[in-house]
């Protein structure tokens, strides 16, 4: 028999998701992190990213490059912007009550519907036609719950009522525009012009609302984590593209040094992009320079799309190995090299935006130049007929130029830049 009495257990509270007032969450709330619901929501984004990347790879392989780029950009904008809008709301007002949960459920249904509309949109775009009915339906389904959430915040948060109301009205107006554009079905050139206007309106009205009526609350660590998590999802598309490419080699010749080299090149390339993206303290910089947050966030529209495009490019490499492409070898490698160059450029731009004038210096210019030389060298190798795997192994080195430099001595230089930026703000 044990004579030692057990310490009293603290009471365990059963969770209940009753409605809570939306008063705006503090930007200094300790231990603020992504919720399980936010992570669950992100899983639907995986499906949309995957379908968009797969269709983009098909378009590139068939030499419908411009059509594919336009269709891919349209699909990625719809998915990423809807995700960004929800994340902006959640960092300000997420109460995790039943109303919020149901609203997110409806948004997830919208993502699935939108994703189902991506293949017919790509098919039509290959002939410069427009078939985006399913995509528009899914996008509107995603956005309507957000209108309700912003309207609820406007009724309950007196301090930010005007800003929240204007954002709700702006989202609603944009959805009316997309539905009207779908119903009118104008000629393709006019459609592109009107869609461009709607894109600008979607991006601009939240900025205008906050500048006119006051900024909304937000949490720097929460935003940095959420954006980083979606970057990881995009990196997953590169791993998937690598898997397709390696599978194509194994199907052709079995397990070989070429297959192993391709696997190493793809994974190491993905790892290098991941390392580069997470190489500076985003959350701390957002907290130190809050006025730069909007620019930083909007730049992720290009960042996420370019990361996913690298995965599509590796998928094109798989098609090339199977002899299912209409592209020259150098063009096949360019489907990986071009978006990779954009990813690395965007990583530098994000750093530059957050750090301000201290983010640009001769060292970074030198590193960008060396990276460009490596990319051009890999393309020249492909043009000269060097096997694709060797070209990819060279291309893989591109992000590691900056990584090795940073870890060996560049971190001290970056720390000095951070200190000067904080001291000079």
SS (H, E, C) 374-408: HHHHHHHHHHCCCCHHHHHHHHHHHHHHHHHHHHH
Mean pLDDT of the chain: 91
> By mean pLDDT, which of 102-111, 197-206, 387-396, 405-414 is the weakest?
405-414
State the pLDDT at residue 198: 97
Contacts of 338 by beta carbon, 8 Å cutoff, 6+ apart: 309, 313
**191: pLDDT confidence band, cut at 50, 70 and 90?**
very high
**Helix, strand, coil in percent for the chain, rounding step 5:** 80, 0, 20
Structure tokens, 133: 């009915």
Percent of the chain with pLDDT over 90: 72
Residue 425 — very low, low, confident or very high, per pLDDT cuts 50/70/90?
low
pLDDT tens-digit map of 92-115? 999 999 999 999 999 999 999 999
Q: Give this prediction's pTM.
A: 0.93
Judged by average pLDDT, the poorest of 101-110, 154-163, 179-188, 247-256 is 247-256
pLDDT for position 172: 98
pLDDT score, position 71: 97
Considering only CA atoms, give the Rg of the chain: 23
What are the structure tokens assigned to 90, written together?
């959640």
pLDDT at position 302 over 80: yes
**How many Cβ atoms from other residues are within 10 Å of residue 54's Cβ?**
20
Name 239's Cβ contacts closer than 8 Å, sequence gap at least 6.
266, 267, 270, 311
**Burial zone of 193 (CB within 10 Å; 0-12 exposed, 13-18 middle, 19+ buried):** exposed
Least confident of 112-116, 162-166, 209-213, 299-303: 209-213
- In whole angstroms, what is the distance from residue 185 CA to residue 195 CA? 11
pLDDT digits (tens, 9 = 90+) for 239-284: 998 898 888 888 887 888 888 988 999 999 999 999 999 998 999 9
Residue 148 pLDDT: 98
User: Under DSSP, is residue 126 helix (H, G, I), strand (E, B) or coil?
Assistant: coil
What's the pLDDT score for residue 359? Answer: 67
What is the mean predicted confidence (pLDDT) over 412-425? 78
Residue 160 scores a pLDDT above 90: yes
């Amino acid at each position: 028999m044990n004579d030692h009495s057990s310490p009293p257990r603290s009471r365990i509270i059963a969770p209940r998701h009753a409605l809570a007032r939306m008063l705006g969450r503090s930007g200094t709330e300790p231990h603020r992190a992504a919720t399980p619901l936010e992570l669950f929501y992100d899983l639907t984004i995986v499906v949309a990213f995957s379908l968009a990347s797969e269709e983009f790879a098909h378009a590139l392989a068939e030499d419908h490059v411009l059509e594919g780029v336009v269709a891919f950009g349209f699909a990625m904008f719809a998915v990423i912007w809807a995700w960004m809008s929800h994340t902006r709301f959640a960092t300000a007002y997420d109460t995790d009550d039943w109303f919020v949960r149901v609203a997110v459920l409806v948004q997830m249904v919208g993502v699935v519907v939108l994703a189902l509309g991506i293949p017919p949109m790509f098919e039509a775009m290959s002939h410069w036609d427009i078939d985006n009915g399913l995509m528009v339906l899914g996008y509107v389904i995603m956005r309507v719950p957000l209108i309700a959430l912003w309207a609820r915040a406007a009724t309950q948060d007196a301090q930010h009522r005007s800003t929240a109301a204007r954002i709700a009205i702006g989202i609603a107006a944009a959805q009316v525009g997309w539905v009207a554009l779908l119903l009118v079905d104008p000629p393709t050139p006019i459609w592109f012009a009107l869609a461009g206007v709607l894109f600008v309106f979607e991006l601009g009205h939240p900025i205008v609302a906050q500048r006119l009526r006051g900024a909304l609350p937000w949490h720097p660590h929460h935003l940095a984590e959420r954006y980083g998590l979606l970057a990881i999802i995009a990196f997953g598309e590169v791993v998937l593209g690598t898997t397709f490419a390696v599978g194509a080699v194994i199907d052709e010749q079995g397990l070989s040094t070429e297959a192993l080299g391709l696997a190493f090149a793809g994974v190491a390339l993905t790892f290098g992009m991941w390392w580069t993206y997470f190489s500076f303290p985003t959350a701390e910089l957002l907290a130190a320079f809050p006025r730069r947050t909007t620019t930083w966030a909007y730049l992720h529209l290009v960042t996420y799309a370019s990361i996913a495009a690298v995965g599509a490019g590796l998928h094109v490499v798989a098609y090339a190995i199977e002899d299912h492409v209409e592209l020259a070898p150098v063009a096949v490698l360019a489907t990986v090299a071009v978006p990779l160059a954009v990813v690395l450029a965007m990583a530098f731009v994000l750093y530059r935006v957050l750090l301000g004038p201290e983010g640009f210096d001769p060292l970074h210019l030198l590193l960008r130049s060396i990276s460009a030389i490596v990319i051009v060298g890999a393309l020249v190798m492909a043009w000269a007929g060097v096997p694709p795997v060797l070209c990819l192994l060279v291309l893989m080195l591109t992000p590691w130029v900056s990584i090795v430099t940073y870890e060996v001595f560049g971190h001290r230089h970056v720390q000095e830049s951070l200190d000067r930026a904080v001291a000079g703000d």
